[in-house]
Structure 1
Amino acid sequence: MYILQKLMNRLIVLNKFGIFSFTFFIVIFSSVVMHLIEPKTFPKWFDALWYVMTTVTTVGYGDYYPVSTAGRIYAIFIFLIGIGIAGLAIGKLVEALGAHRKRKEEGRLTFKGRNHFVIIGWSEKAKYAVSEIIETHPNLEVVLIDNLTITPITHQNVHYIQGDPSIEETLIQANLKEAKSVLVFSDDSIHDSALADGKTLLIVTSVERLTPHIHSTVEIKKEEHIKNFRHAKVDEFVLSHETVSRMAVRSAFSKGITEIYTQLLSHKEGENLFEVRKRAEWVTYKDAFDSLLQQGATLIADGNDLSINKKLNDSIPDDARLYIICSKDVYESII
């Protein structure tokens, strides 16, 4: 009994690989031994393996069992050693799964996916952004970076990375080099707009230094800071305070205009804004405008150029980024 106790104590301190390796050895070795001891009871090697597996997992169907003295003696060995080792292996497996889940929730796992969307900074705005991405692109993987001790959102396509986003190691952990786009939200806990934009600029500088090719969108508090972000080669800017204020003022003078903004900004209601590729038969903007209008869509812009109606007879460049307003059903029929 002392020997068995010493053996189990040694097994407990083994790592997971050692436990699984030893369990595999015991199962295979016992299957071979039982097949050799009782070839009539276990005519096939798989029959012996079936018996050993049902025994060590305490299932015990009773369809196979040893009848000779030698077979029963070895079966006692399986009872004493095999069941304990199998239980230990199962316990280690459950422990490993629990540890993996804990590391995932704490954001300590490295993301290995590609063409994902990275969001830096958790807030209510980030929450709505994640919800919008999941709603419009259900297959897109999202990686969230923040300093929270545990993930603020649980979804199969959302992966959390805990760390300082201005540090290169954190961005590498999020696999930023193979990401499709990055969205940086301003830190709402910083009430000074200059300090908040300064922190955002530090983060986006690290992002652009590591992955200069990535498409970056940044939330900025003060409009006069845009020139600093342009110097950092940021692609898109969102002015949080100014945008809300201007929308409020316009709604005061033009009743119902906020409904238009809401429809264009959200994919959950009304007409939406979509991007379409140029077709071979669309030579001029008028060709595209008329064709899309017949299908129920309105062409409004090429990139950030909203003056489509002033150049309908101009040729459409091959790299044009055409934006239309239509319902989701119409968009899906167009693409």
Structure 2
Amino acid sequence: MFFNKFFERLINVNTAVIFLITALVIGGSSFAIYYIEPEEFGNPFNGFWWVMTSVTTVGFGDYVPDTVPGKLYGVFLYLVGIGLISIVISKIIDFMYVYNRRKELGKLVYNGREHIVIADWSKHAKIAIQEILNTEKNIEIVLIDQFEETPYHHDRLFYVRGNPVEKEVLEQANINEARAVFIFPNEITISGEYIHDPSYIDGKSLLIATSIQRHFKDIYTIVEVKERNNIHNFTHVEVDEFIVSSEMISQLAVRSAFSRGTSRIVSQLLSKRHGEDLYEIPKRPSWRTYREAYMDLLEEGATLVSDHDDLNINHKLDEHIPEDAQLFVICHEDTYHKISGKEAK
């Protein structure tokens, strides 16, 4: 009865106090059992080993008290120590549950760096998340939206619940340390009804981009818009890249109609889940012209296709490569790692 009330009160005690009491009991018992039976235990560390195997009920039996005082202290340790360790373990489990639950609900602050921030959840955002996770094995993603809990579960996905227009929400996503931010258009609701008008949807993306650029000017920003005509509304915002989703789909559909298999080729180049992919590589000091780079890369199993967004490499092979060149090749992942001097992970 006494021990039941004692442990009921302990459970309700502050977690830090419980940890402190447990540490004092374990540490004190390690010295106490050594003091009681120095010949048996030899040093306090052996006493600590005996205490831990006792309170965790492992009981290897390599150290056993021989005297009556030692055995009585062992009984005390069983009654008190095991109860304390059980409470500590339950507190740790509770902490892990609460942490994971708060993470799912988007209530935690993200402290990582070089991550990708995605503003607003959509089908395109889901595809982008899957592609990012497949592209780099260590990169983390922070998704910002207003769902009650995360719509996508993954060890490397961190959810922040809130309006991406608000500075506090962007700071919670640690956007200032992010590698890039993607803004995906998503259908908005007014009075519970979905609004499908591209102007309203792109207007929301404009508002998010404006807020990001006002508070965090140096973040590389990529915005997907529903209609190309709406891009001019972003002129006062420093958006680095625009993606017109409706145009890309329509153009790809037309290409596939005239040249069968076009969509499959483009999909393979854009996705890490299929064959050879598109990669950016650094310029080598030994390369003076595009021809030198083209021929070297070809021998290594890669094809040079563009510098920045210029695809006319074949028409200027004898031109000098500028220092700020951004070269892209098509090759297998293993070849890319060899070319870029990186080891495959």
Q: How far apart are 1:186 and its partner, in Å?
A: 1.0
The 10-residue stretch of structure 1 (242-251 or 264-273) with the greater mean CA deviation from structure 2: 264-273
Q: How far apart are 1:271 and its partner, in Å?
A: 4.0
Q: Which residue of 2 aligns with 1:232?
A: 237
- Structure 1, residues 78-134: CA drift from partner, whole Å, max 9, x if none? 233222222211211111122222222222222222111222222222222122222
In structure 2, what is the Cα distance between the partners aligned to 1:267 and 1:290? 25
2:278 to 256, 273, 291: 273
Q: How far apart are 1:283 and its partner, in Å?
A: 1.8
Secondary structure at the aligned position of 1:165 is classed as coil
**Any residues of structure 2 matched to 1:1-335 within 5 Å, and which?**
2=2, 4=3, 7-188=6-187, 190-335=195-340
- Structure 1, residues 4-28: CA drift from partner, whole Å, max 9, x if none? 5554343222222111110010111
In structure 1, what is the Cα distance between the partners aligned to 2:145 and 2:61? 55
AA matched with 1:37: I
In structure 2, what is the Cα distance between the partners aligned to 1:5 and 1:250? 76
Q: TM-score, normalised by structure 1?
A: 0.89
Give the direction of change, closer, same or farther, for the CA distance of 1:220–1:58 in structure 2 (3 Å limit): same
In structure 2, what is the Cα distance between the partners aligned to 1:68 and 1:332? 66
Give the direction of change, closer, same or farther, for the CA distance of 1:266–1:34 in structure 2 (3 Å limit): closer
Give the direction of change, closer, same or farther, for the CA distance of 1:251–1:39 in structure 2 (3 Å limit): closer
AA matched with 2:121: W
Q: How far apart are 1:61 and its partner, in Å?
A: 3.6
Extract structure 1 runs of 4+ deviating beyond 6 A. none
Q: Which residue of 1 aligns with 2:191?
A: none
In structure 2, what is the Cα distance between the partners aligned to 1:90 and 1:305? 60
In structure 2, what is the Cα distance between the partners aligned to 1:204 and 1:124? 20
Secondary structure at the aligned position of 1:218 is classed as strand
User: Structure 1: any 5+ residue segments left out of the alignment?
Assistant: none
Secondary structure at the aligned position of 2:39 is classed as coil
Q: How far apart are 1:196 and its partner, in Å?
A: 0.9
AA matched with 1:92: K
In structure 1, what is the Cα distance between the partners aligned to 2:265 and 2:127? 19
In structure 2, what is the Cα distance between the partners aligned to 1:253 and 1:288? 33
Q: TM-score, normalised by structure 2?
A: 0.87
User: Structure 2: any 5+ residue segments left out of the alignment?
Assistant: 189-194, 341-345
Secondary structure at the aligned position of 2:280 is classed as strand
Give the direction of change, closer, same or farther, for the CA distance of 1:21–1:313 in structure 2 (3 Å limit): same
In structure 1, what is the Cα distance between the partners aligned to 2:339 and 2:68? 77
Q: Which residue of 1 aligns with 2:343?
A: none
Aligned-residue Cα RMSD (Å) equals 2.4
The 10-residue stretch of structure 1 (11-20 or 49-58) with the greater mean CA deviation from structure 2: 49-58
In structure 1, what is the Cα distance between the partners aligned to 2:133 and 2:234? 28
Q: How far apart are 1:36 and its partner, in Å?
A: 2.1
Q: How far apart are 1:223 and its partner, in Å?
A: 0.6
Secondary structure at the aligned position of 2:253 is classed as helix
AA matched with 2:172: Q
In structure 1, what is the Cα distance between the partners aligned to 2:295 and 2:59? 74
